[in-house]
A and B are shown apart, each in its own frame.
Chain A
Amino acid sequence: NAGVMQNPRHLVRRRGQEARLRCSPMKGHSHVYWYRQLPEEGLKFMVYLQKENIIDESGMPKERFSAEFPKEGPSILRIQQVVRGDSAAYFCASSPWPGDTQYFGPGTRLTVL
């Protein structure tokens, strides 16, 4: 399966814990995007990364959220000290270059108890 992979598919955390979401882009894609979908809402852009670089994090909350895309391995979206309002579906997408069609992974559904 050469599609975008995300894991875990479901993640349950208690308030105050950390959540780590992983995304492996499609083969040949070096551009990764993270989106968040709150219940009954559309997807909202969070951050755009290339290998080892954050290009645009204008959609990321200013605190507790960070993202990386290291030279080796998947992209990671990290949420520290989670709160109930962080409960959402987090989708990763990738493309071969910026502006090209983005292909989405299956998402990680984060539930904060």
Chain B
Amino acid sequence: DQQVKQNSPSLSVQEGRISILNCDYTNSMFDYFLWYKKYPAEGPTFLISISSIKDKNEDGRFTVFLNKSAKHLSLHIVPSQPGDSAVYFCAAHTGAGSYQLTFGKGTKLSVIP
């Protein structure tokens, strides 16, 4: 049972344009959401997170939006750069003190120069 779903296995975007990566979840107990970026043969690198009490969090070129009623979040990267090409994982846990991250299967982003 996939509690965190990333329905697009891959996404191609032109350099300079916006990249939008989507994530849906089914567990209403999830309270905190994270995005990780992963290059081949490396471990996931933390990118940005959002608590369920917010609907938006921004850090430089990266913005995460959360729609709790739809159980949907998205990561926006603008402008996209070739170095952003990687696999992006959406992850969630059930809040304060929780540690078990539940990951989606990932979306491979390719930014075309």
Q: A residues near B, CB below 8 A?
A: 4, 6, 31, 33, 35, 40-45, 48, 56, 58-59, 91, 93, 95, 98-99, 101-107, 109
Known: A42-B89, A48-B100. 14 other contacts (CB 8 A): A40-B105, A42-B103, A48-B99, A58-B100, A91-B43, A99-B96, A101-B34, A101-B46, A102-B99, A104-B44, A104-B45, A105-B43, A106-B41, A106-B42
Interface: B98 (CB within 8 A): yes
Interface: B75 (CB within 8 A): no
| Complex CA distance for A44 and B34, rounded to whole angstroms | 15
Interface: B74 (CB within 8 A): no
| Complex CA distance for A44 and B105, rounded to whole angstroms | 10
Hey, which chain B residues are within 8 Å of A105, CB to CB? 43
Could you give 29 example pairs across A and B, Cβ below 8 Å? Answer: A4-B43, A31-B99, A35-B101, A35-B103, A40-B105, A41-B105, A42-B4, A42-B89, A42-B104, A42-B105, A42-B106, A43-B89, A43-B91, A45-B101, A45-B102, A56-B99, A56-B100, A93-B43, A99-B93, A99-B95, A101-B34, A102-B99, A102-B101, A103-B46, A104-B43, A104-B45, A106-B41, A106-B42, A107-B42
| Complex CA distance for A33 and B99, rounded to whole angstroms | 8
Interface: B80 (CB within 8 A): no
* Known contacts A42-B89, A43-B103; is-contact A99 B97 (Cβ 8 Å): yes
Determine whether the beta carbon of B98 is less than 8 Å from that of A99.
yes
Q: B residues near A, CB below 8 A?
A: 4, 34, 36, 41-46, 49, 89, 91, 93, 95-106
Query: Which of B41, B42, B97, B103 is the one whose CB lies under 8 Å from A44?
Result: B103
| Complex CA distance for A98 and B91, rounded to whole angstroms | 16
Hey, which chain A residues are within 8 Å of B103, CB to CB? 35, 42-44
Most B C-beta atoms less than 10 A away, residue of A98, A102, A105 = A102
Hey, which chain A residues are within 8 Å of B41, CB to CB? 106-107, 109
Determine whether the beta carbon of B100 is less than 8 Å from that of A45.
yes
